Amino acid sequence: MRRQLLGGTAVVLLLVLTTGCGDAVPGAATAAAGTSRPAVLPATADDLGDLVLADVPSGLPRVPDADLDPPAGAKTVQDVAGYAEDPGREAQVLADYGYRWGWERFWKDAPDLTSVFVDQFTGVSGAAAYAADLARNDTEYYGGSPDRDPDDLPAGCSLLTVDAPAADTGLGGPAAFVWCAHGPFTVAVAAVAPDPEAALAEAHAATLAQLELLPRG
């Protein structure tokens, strides 16, 4: 299952990663500054949306949710299942995982693009299984070998870098993807940039900043 990106562009799923410790990544400290981890789990999709990054470390302009097709923002089981080739089967899998709701957000200034997807489940095991599915499916689509235990991301995160994407992937440049299981949440971050180092730095900083906003459950 892949989640489509901007306006039908076949970029796909999310998440990010790397380069030294958090303080060494431009924008990481700023993005997380002033945040305090909430103690209560979101009770609605809108509550979850309040915990999704409003800005990304690179400073890219945010794309309005309504400008995308399908729109970004709040996501139901049916919305996410609709990205799959077999929506009915995917909806059942998501239900088995305990999927509750999700939220998508995008920032873009071509060719740079950053996306953040956050999904909430009824329990930890469903979130972990979903994060693993995202990592496996995106790796099959984009190619490469993911790092399933990156040194400078928390446990439960995987990283994939695509330095020279194939033309049929729809990626506009080098990209970095991160998928994390974080309590009852999954976080998927993707960053596309003119060079691999910039993509990696953006994905890494955005991932750490997003994880900082979520309770552990």
Give me the long-range contacts of 63-69 (CB less than 8 A, separation at least 24).
63/6, 63/106, 63/107, 63/108, 65/104, 65/105, 67/7, 68/6, 68/7, 68/106, 69/7, 69/8
Classify residue 147: in a domain, yes or no: yes
Range of the domain at 14: 6-33+41-212
How confident is the chain (217 residues) per 10-residue block, as mean pLDDT? 41 28 30 55 97 98 94 96 91 96 97 97 97 92 90 94 89 94 98 96 97 89
- What is the reported pLDDT for 216? 79
- What is the reported pLDDT for 217? 65
Query: What is the tally of structural domains in the chain?
Result: 1
Classify residue 154: in a domain, yes or no: yes
- What is the reported pLDDT for 29? 30
Classify residue 118: in a domain, yes or no: yes
- What is the reported pLDDT for 36? 56
Classify residue 124: in a domain, yes or no: yes
Classify residue 46: in a domain, yes or no: yes
- What is the reported pLDDT for 16? 26
- What is the reported pLDDT for 3? 58
Q: How far is Cα 208 from Cα 153, in angstroms, rounded to an integer?
A: 8
- What is the reported pLDDT for 97? 96
- What is the reported pLDDT for 114? 98
- What is the reported pLDDT for 210? 98
Classify residue 1: in a domain, yes or no: no
Classify residue 178: in a domain, yes or no: yes
Classify residue 196: in a domain, yes or no: yes
